[in-house]
A and B are shown apart, each in its own frame.
Chain A
Amino acid sequence: MSEPPSRAAAPAPRVPILPYSRIVGQEDLKLALELNFVSPRIGGVLITGQRGTAKSTVVRAFALMSGGELPVTLPINATDDRVVGGWELDSLMRGVAKPQPGLLEEADRKGLLYIDEVNLLDDHLVNIILDVVSTGVLSIQREGIDLARQLSFGLVGTMNPEEGSLRAQLLDRFGLMVAASELDLAERRRMITTVLTFEEELEAEDSAWLRAAQDEDDTLRTALQAARDRLKDVRLDESVSGLCAEAAELLGAIGQRGDLLVAKTARALAARDGHARVEPDHVRRVLPLALRHRRPDSAHGAALTWGPDEDDRVSALFG
């Protein structure tokens, strides 16, 4: 029998999520998450896509890469006491009344609330989240709790449009929206090999493959953190902010939030790419992310697509 591994060599329990740097394809999706990290005031990302397009994996991998832990996750069957907060039942059983913060407060601390299958969320939970996100205040008067807290966090949601659409009010609360894309044949080959390799390496005592991926993740996190730090120095000229408004109007974006989101996202992109000022190309690149879900027909449950018509209109504006 071989000797048991020493304590130092014992593998730490690993989170079984593919490292962010090893995710194949999904460039738009990654871009949206990275921009939301660089500029948290963007307010979150809604990710739609057909089944099996690795939406949840990308979100979890990004959270692990950027924050070192899995995101605060609101499962679709959560009870409202866990969402808004309540009492710790075990303590209560011992006669000690100990408050148990809910997921919304935890999201406030960590900056992000992740809702998997967000379009399957029960309406009463949607109402609670909408109340908090729109007012910035969590107010609880129930089961002996009476408190009001200022909360702020970004929403990241994933959904499969086959299972229905999202209420317009909730849709509007996501700063960006992105559709998970299909992989081409070469990417699919790479994806299969990568996933199988990852699953094998996960069980190894010491994996050079995982260490290399972790190093790349660390490098990316450092770069994104630096971009976040220099965001405030990125200039947004009046001509470019006018372009943002013009593009939003051209695409029929509802309300003023679209204009602002285009400008904030373009600025985040400039910061991520190391530019000192926002260029028209930055604006053009982020338009589908910021405006896809803000067009008039989105309120009527239309498919939230971005097609040649939109591209043509954008081309006419940007030349």
Chain B
Amino acid sequence: MSASPLRPLPAADAGQLPRRLLTALACAAVEPKLSGVLLFGLPDAHLATVAAVLDRLLAGPTGTPVPRTALTAATTDEDLWSRPRVSRGPHGIDFALDPGPLTEPVPGPSLVVVPDLARLSVPGKRAAVQLLGADVATVEQSGLRRRWRPAARWLAVCRTEDVPRVSPHLLDRFPLRLTAPDLSIRPGDTPLGPLPAAWTRALDRARSTGPRPPLHPADDFASRVLELLDDQDGTGQRRALALARTARALARLDGAERLTADHAEAAATLLRLRSARNPSTEPPPGPDTVDTARGAPRILPGPWPDTDRRPAPGTPVLEPGPAEPIGLGRAAGPWPTTDTPYPEDTAGPPPEDSPLRTPARRTTGPRAARGPVVGVRPARDLWDLAPVRTAMEAAKYRAVRDRSERLVILPGDLRGYVRAPEPVRTLTLVLDHTCREDWDWHAALAPFLHWAYVTRAPVHVVEVGGRGAPNEVRAESFTALSTRSPRIAAALARPPGRATPLAHGLQLAEQTLRRAFQHHRAGLVEALLVVVTDGRGNVPLAASRRGEAGRDAVGRTGIDDALAAAGRISGMDRTRLHSLVVDPGRQPYPELPHLLAEALDGRVVPGRPEHEAADRGR
């Protein structure tokens, strides 16, 4: 890239997506605090190219690639933080525990690539939360302890329709975000365009270890940053700092001596903040080369010409894709994502309950993903070695094997963990409080709770229409590790509220079940879904997403949305998922629970004692 001919940016080209992306990547390379680049909707085929560009920006003129790690849905903690190394040496097997790739054992920046942020494994997501933007990071794993200042840059991709699936907590860690579904790259060495000479010099300075001239903000800089933020009263300070640091990165690329409000505006334009797109605040069109004597940017990423293909605000960037199989299903319904860096701000319910927590189970352990350790035995292969027991076994024979100080580990010393198979069962309980009236549902639910107690199943409770809910048009959910949790008793005793967001409740149940199937994989032997409802959902899913009831008549929308959500659940693994609808027997719509059970591909269980009496009478 640096070998290509350098030329000033043509103004007509400056607003194109490749140029914006190159600018964002250069900002990440020049500014260590801009450690996360998140691309919404980037076509899969382009990820390798974009990663290669960032790699070269970080590597510099030597062209030696920086260390690179890819995190996927299969990433486990053991892949990330420590790396056992067993090798055959002249005196037998050498054994060592090295720092893992995320602990950045090699000085200098490295690159972490996440091809699909929504489907990243829970350990991968937790690692991202720990490392992205952190001042210091710590690892304490299996005898390894290390503290370092993270310098890795993360390049992640998230499909537009998957945004609701990703925790806002995780999204918030990415300071640089671009929507890039229409990215077109050019063949050759400069797929995103040539790198200006000034940027090459700035990147070289960033890579050098010596002190660099300070770049202090002008008096009006901070005020301008806050004015430019889309959500000036929003939670947290990360967006303000991301905008300010992006401005500083642009100033560094530009070789400026002072950080000014112009840089803040250029950064807002780069990130597509709404305020920067507002004609009243957008700088007037003109050449992108301005006088640097006044400290203003020489090369700005904007203003963008009208030829830019960005969609108008409010226009969905991507149409929802086709349905997907269980475990990796897409979010329900289209997500109104526009060309904004913060799509999670669009009105909608939280993506799921505690997405960064390991799904609940009764038998946890450091390696619980493969079952708890129940013993140690001679190793049959080099997977899942027990390092301490291996070393201890070798240490016993040290004196007789070798009179030198070395510890020799022979193949016969290798020990591996014995792990118990880990059957996991889960109970998902959807409680529609508005169907209870005078019905005491404890007796009807007792068999299911008893099953959960006996099988040690965690209980995921979804509450629909409970009085005192923070938002009455949304369902609430929580996970209890056991049936003895007082939260379950409290939920069962909760009085009814006014609205029945049944569709949202079933959507929460769907997300929980998908997550359980995805995380526990083959370990999940049985999942029981129990829906206690009369089926009279009166809140459309869209209203739950918005968080407020609309003024128009709802009609059957709430019921139809609930049936649609139930239909999605019915597409899951029928051999392991069993669905039941407990019918309170309310009039005048006794058929609704049956319709719901049909949509769930489950069956109806009569809930009221009258039904039991009738059954006995028959």
How far does the Cβ of A146 sit from chain B's closest Cβ, in whole Å?
14
Chain B residues with CB below 8 A from A261, complex form: none
| A54 close to B237 (CB less than 8 A) | yes
Q: Out of A90, A120, A204, which one reaches B126, CB within 8 Å?
A: A120
Chain B residues with CB below 8 A from A222, complex form: none
| A89 close to B391 (CB less than 8 A) | yes
Chain B residues with CB below 8 A from A195, complex form: 241, 244
A189 interface contact, C-beta 8 A: yes
Q: Out of B81, B236, B364, which one reaches A51, CB within 8 Å?
A: B236
**With A and B bound together, what is the CA distance between A95 and B443 in angstroms?**
62
What does DSSP make chain B's interface, helix, strand, loop or mixed? mixed
**With A and B bound together, what is the CA distance between A303 and B222 in angstroms?**
33
Q: Give a binary string over B133-153; 1 marks a CB under 8 Å from any A CB, 0 the rest.
A: 011111111111101010000
| B149 close to A16 (CB less than 8 A) | yes
| B226 close to A82 (CB less than 8 A) | no
Given contacts A77-B77, A100-B143, contact A15 B238 (CB under 8 A): no
Most-contacted residue by chain A among B136, B140, B233, B486 (CB, 10 A):
B140
A301 interface contact, C-beta 8 A: yes
Q: Out of A56, A90, A95, A189, which one reaches B223, CB within 8 Å?
A: A189
**With A and B bound together, what is the CA distance between A80 and B388 in angstroms?**
13
| B126 close to A60 (CB less than 8 A) | no
| A200 close to B215 (CB less than 8 A) | yes
Q: Out of A51, A76, A117, A196, which one reaches B244, CB within 8 Å?
A: A196
Chain A residues with CB below 8 A from B478, complex form: 165, 301
| B142 close to A79 (CB less than 8 A) | yes
Q: Give a binary string over A67-97; 1 marks a CB under 8 Å from any B CB, 0 the rest.
A: 0001001111111111100111110111101
How far does the Cβ of A209 sit from chain B's closest Cβ, in whole Å?
10
| B235 close to A193 (CB less than 8 A) | no
| B139 close to A119 (CB less than 8 A) | no
| A193 close to B221 (CB less than 8 A) | yes
- Give the residues from 342 to 357 in chain B that come closer than 8 angstroms, CB to CB, to chain A: 350, 353-357
**With A and B bound together, what is the CA distance between A124 and B96 in angstroms?**
27
| B169 close to A82 (CB less than 8 A) | no
B358 interface contact, C-beta 8 A: yes
| B212 close to A94 (CB less than 8 A) | no
How far does the Cβ of A75 sit from chain B's closest Cβ, in whole Å?
5
Least CB separation from A114: chain B residue = B138
Given contacts A123-B481, A300-B490, contact A188 B235 (CB under 8 A): no
B240 interface contact, C-beta 8 A: yes
| A164 close to B357 (CB less than 8 A) | yes
**With A and B bound together, what is the CA distance between A199 and B167 in angstroms?**
28
| B357 close to A163 (CB less than 8 A) | yes
Least CB separation from B376: chain A residue = A143
How far does the Cβ of B410 sit from chain A's closest Cβ, in whole Å?
14
- Give the residues from 280 to 319 in chain A that come closer than 8 angstroms, CB to CB, to chain B: 299-301, 303
Q: Give a binary string over A121-149; 1 marks a CB under 8 Å from any B CB, 0 the rest.
A: 01110000000000000000001100000
**With A and B bound together, what is the CA distance between A221 and B236 in angstroms?**
28
Chain B residues with CB below 8 A from A80, complex form: 366
| A51 close to B96 (CB less than 8 A) | no
Chain A residues with CB below 8 A from B226, complex form: 185, 188-189, 192
- Give the residues from 186 to 236 in chain A that come closer than 8 angstroms, CB to CB, to chain B: 188-193, 195-197, 199-201, 203-205
- Give the residues from 161 to 193 in chain A that come closer than 8 angstroms, CB to CB, to chain B: 162-165, 168, 182-183, 185, 188-193
Q: Out of A88, A94, A183, A188, which one reaches B407, CB within 8 Å?
A: A94
Chain A residues with CB below 8 A from B129, complex form: 117, 120
Chain B residues with CB below 8 A from A73, complex form: 138, 147
Other A-B pairs beyond A75-B137, A163-B357, A182-B235, 5, CB < 8 Å = A87-B388, A117-B130, A122-B358, A189-B222, A189-B223
B contact set with A: CB distance below 8 Å: 33, 77, 80-81, 95-97, 123, 126-127, 129-130, 134-145, 147, 149, 167-169, 172, 211-212, 214-217, 221-223, 225-226, 232-233, 235-241, 244-245, 248, 259, 350, 353-358, 364-366, 387-389, 391-392, 395, 398, 405-407, 470, 478, 481, 486-487, 490
A contact set with B: CB distance below 8 Å: 11, 15-17, 50-54, 56-57, 60, 70, 73-83, 86-90, 92-95, 97, 100, 103, 116-117, 119-120, 122-124, 143-144, 160, 162-165, 168, 182-183, 185, 188-193, 195-197, 199-201, 203-205, 299-301, 303
**13 cross-chain CB contacts under 8 A:** A15-B135, A77-B130, A79-B141, A79-B142, A82-B144, A89-B142, A93-B407, A162-B350, A163-B354, A191-B240, A195-B241, A196-B248, A303-B470
